[in-house]
Structure 1
């Protein structure tokens, strides 16, 4: 028997007031419970505006878990697993947790996902700074369309350098996602299509650097992309 405290989240104030999405999360929580489990009331509901990172409801839920010895039950982990600030709060809280949409998640799993996200953010920042510095050295005026149009095709040397950069980027991404693939395979997710689906649900970037966004946007991971990634690190 496990005692749980539920943590849900909705993305806007309007959604929070209307209950849109919240009922589905609460229903999923009830389905997740096993015979004999206890769910303490009330649940903690975070209304995320996109402008705050402190997550006061998460802090309150963690504090109550510490007081009662309960396990934090996260209704919707998905892309939060790649949010470094969220993972830091969760780890610093020192409480056990379960995720309804990622039942096999553990401290190691979320640490890996957060580390991958942090690494990708650092790489993007470094590439952006390097590109801006190179543009300034060439005398390019930055900021808006100033009428510049390319007058010649890139040289073969430039093309080779660009190819090498893309390959290095793909290698970094492949090795970054490998621990997640291994974790999913250990959980019994073995088909390429199933692996691609889970990676998209988790919001992981593909080796080409494309990240899954809202549900309305087509998923970037495919069975072929998973196969190529596994082959790259083999």
Structure 2
């Protein structure tokens, strides 16, 4: 029987999958099915929409920060789906956060450490083969490269700004439960909340660990706008 507090981390590889829910619902169902029957609390669900080729995982970092802030366990639906994601595995190995993989409940930090080494070596070998193939093609006289995209338009800028706004709102919403726990009646001062958030190692919007009264005020203002 499962007990404790959990933060779930779900990941899909494309924006289209994220918008359609493709893959997310199956992961969400796997987490719920595994946890059901115990005395547990799912504090937050963090969704990452990233290409597998990218190494940055901002939402994973946020999920791990929430685990530390809430002393919660990170739960993922399928560890085998992420077994070749060296960045994810190394982050999990080094984070100092307890985790649970629904498809591999016996996995531990040593397990993911070994998997991370294997994934990193596989990625290195793939990169070496790709470079060798490109060098051979160039030696045969093939012209490499080509059109790399297009210049950004006003609509692109507006969409990028909207995406940043959406991400900021989502982060503020994820931090709302922590703020409510630290200040249930809304009377704590900005300085007191800044000290409390810093003490719990909750990262700021820029990823820093030191909160300021101004940052707390901005978080409160964003949450107030979101509730209107």
Scaled by the length of structure 1, the TM-score of the pair is 0.51
Q: For 1:5 and 1:115, how far apart are their aligned partners in 2?
A: 25
Residues 12 and 24, structure 2, Cα contact 8 Å, conserved in 1: yes
* C-alpha spacing 1:67/1:74, structure 2 compared with 1 (3 Å): same
- In structure 1, the gaps of 5 or more residues are 146-234
Would the aligned equivalents of 1:82 and 1:110 in 2 still touch at CA under 8 Å?
no
Aligned to 2:140: 142
Q: Please tell me whether the aligned partners of residues 8 and 76 of structure 1 are also in contact (alpha carbons under 8 angstroms).
A: no
Q: 1:32 to 1:127 in 2, by over 3 A?
A: same
The alpha-carbon distance between structure 1 residues 24 and 122, as it changes in their structure 2 partners (threshold 3 A), is closer
- Displacement of 1:104 in angstroms is 2.0
3-state secondary structure, aligned to 1:2: strand
* 1:60 alignment partner in structure 2: 62
8 A contact 1:4–1:37 mirrored in 2 = no
How do 1:61-80 residues align onto structure 2 when only pairs under 5 Å count?
61-80=63-82
* Residue 29 (structure 1) aligned to one of 28, 31, 34: 31
Give the deviation of 1:141 after TM superposition: 3.1
- Partner secondary structure for residue 83 of structure 2: helix
Q: Tell me: CA distance 1:143–1:78, structure 2 relative to 1, closer, same or farther (3 Å).
A: farther
Deviation readout 1:61-115 (Å, 9 max, x if unpaired): 1001001111000123224222221122212221000111222221122111221
Q: Which runs of 5+ in 2 are unaligned?
A: 144-228
Distance in 2 of aligned mates of 1:128 and 1:48: 22
Equivalent-residue separation in structure 2 for 1:39 and 1:74 (angstroms)? 15
Over 3 Å counting, the alpha-carbon distance change for 1:141 and 1:118 in structure 2 is same
More moved, 8-17 vs 51-60: 51-60
TM-score (norm 2): 0.52
Distance in 2 between residues matched to 1:51 and 1:132, nearest whole Å: 18
**Among candidates 1, 4, 8, match of residue 2 of structure 1:** 4
Given that residues 98 and 105 in structure 1 are in contact (C-alpha distance below 8 angstroms), is that contact kept between their aligned partners in structure 2?
yes
Q: What is the CA RMSD across the aligned residues, in angstroms?
A: 2.9
The alignment of Structure 1 onto Structure 2 pairs a total of residues equal to: 141
